[in-house]
Amino acid sequence: MLATADAAVQLSTRRKRTGNGWNTPFIGKNRNTIGSDTPPPLDEIYPMAFLVEKDAGAVVKPHFHIADQYQVVIQGGGSLGKHAIGTVAVHYTDAYSAYGPIIADERGVSWFTLRNTWDFGAKYMPEHRAELRDARSKIAHREATCGPLPPLSVAELAALNTVTTEAVIEETADGLGTWRYTLPAGQSVTGPAPSTGGGQYWLVSAGSARAPGGELLPPQSLVFVGPDEATSVMTAGPAGADLICMQFPKRARN
C-alpha cells in the first residue's frame, strides 16, 4: 500500500475542533471517523495517521495503545513523560508501552500520531494497568526518541549542494528506525527497503517533495509506504526538501 496526504488539502477540508484543540485525519480512518456501523479494518497492515493540535496547558493522561506508533511533534512544545518535546521531535512506542503525561506549554503543541495497524483508542492508566501487565508476556516495553530536529529554513534549503542522510534512531534487528534526509532542489534520495520493516511514513519537514508518480507535497505532508512496496525514491521540489522517514518494526501479528 502506498498512500499520500497533502497537508494543505487535509487541513483545509478535514480539520475539526475538539474539547481542547483540533484533530485532522490524514491517512486512513480512526475511531473518530470510521462510523459506528462500520467494522474496524483489522488488516495486518493498516495505516492510520492524524494530526493532533492541543491548546496551551492541555494535558493528556498517561496511557498506552494496542498498536505500535510514532508521535511526531511538528509545532509548539511541552513535555512527554520525562522528555522535553519541540519541533521536530520523534517519539516511538511499541504496542502496550505506557507513556505520558503529555503536557502542552504556553505555545500549545501539535503532533502527528502515526500507526501501521488499527487501534481502538487510548487505554488510560491506572484503569487499564491489569491489561498492560497481562500483555507483557508478549510485547516488552520499548520507547525510542530523537530531536528536536528543527526544519531547515528557506535559506538553509537553498544552500544545500548535496544529499545528506542521517540515522536519527538507529535501525534495530526487527527493522525499527528513523532517518533524516536533506535534498537540494530536484535531487532524489532512495529510502530504506520497506521489506526490512513493517511499513514506513515519510514526513515533509520543510521544502517540498514528491513520491514516485505523485504530486508535489508541501511541508507537513505525509507518505505511507507499505512493507510490500518497492523501495521509495523521494524527489525534492524547486526549493529543496527536509524529509524524515520513520519505519515500524516487522513483527508477527496475532
Q: Do the domain assignments include residue 254? A: no
Mapped to the 3 state alphabet, what secondary structure does 141-194 carry?
A: CCEEEECCCCCCCHHHHHCCCCCEEEEEECCCCCCCEEEEEEECCCCEEECCCH
pLDDT at 254: 43
The predicted-structure confidence for 193-249, as pLDDT tens digits, reads as follows 999 999 999 999 999 999 998 999 999 999 999 999 999 999 999 999 999 999 999
pLDDT at 136: 80
pTM listed for this prediction:
0.94
**Residue 234: all three cell numbers together:** 523521494
* Residues 7 and 132 grouped into a single domain: yes
Final residue before a domain boundary, out of 146, 181, 215: 146
Q: Do the domain assignments include residue 211? A: yes
* Residues 54 and 136 grouped into a single domain: yes
pLDDT at 101: 95
* Residues 42 and 128 grouped into a single domain: yes
* Residues 76 and 187 grouped into a single domain: no
**Residue 173: all three cell numbers together:** 534487528
Q: Do the domain assignments include residue 85? A: yes
Final residue before a domain boundary, out of 146, 165, 190: 146
C-alpha to C-alpha distance for 6 and 243, rounded to whole angstroms? 14
The predicted-structure confidence for 45-63, as pLDDT tens digits, reads as follows 999 999 999 999 999 999 9
* Residues 6 and 117 grouped into a single domain: yes
pLDDT at 72: 97
Final residue before a domain boundary, out of 146, 168, 194: 146
* Residues 124 and 161 grouped into a single domain: no
What's at 81, amino acid-wise? G
Cis peptide before 163 (omega within 30 of 0): no
C-alpha to C-alpha distance for 149 and 169, rounded to whole angstroms? 12
**How would residue 252 be classed by pLDDT, with cut points 50, 70 and 90?**
low
Whether 179 and 225 have beta carbons less than 8 Å apart is answered as no
Query: Residue 118 is part of a domain; what is its CATH number?
Result: 2.60.120.10
The predicted-structure confidence for 84-106, as pLDDT tens digits, reads as follows 899 999 999 999 999 999 999 99
Domain count for the chain, please give it.
Answer: 2
Q: Do the domain assignments include residue 16? A: yes
Whether 182 and 206 have beta carbons less than 8 Å apart is answered as no
The predicted-structure confidence for 133-186, as pLDDT tens digits, reads as follows 898 878 888 999 998 999 999 999 999 999 999 999 999 999 999 999 999 999
* Residues 174 and 140 grouped into a single domain: no
Q: Do the domain assignments include residue 252? A: no
* Residues 136 and 27 grouped into a single domain: yes
Residue ranges making up the domain that contains 233: 154-247
Q: Do the domain assignments include residue 132? A: yes
Question: Strand, helix or coil at 130?
Answer: helix
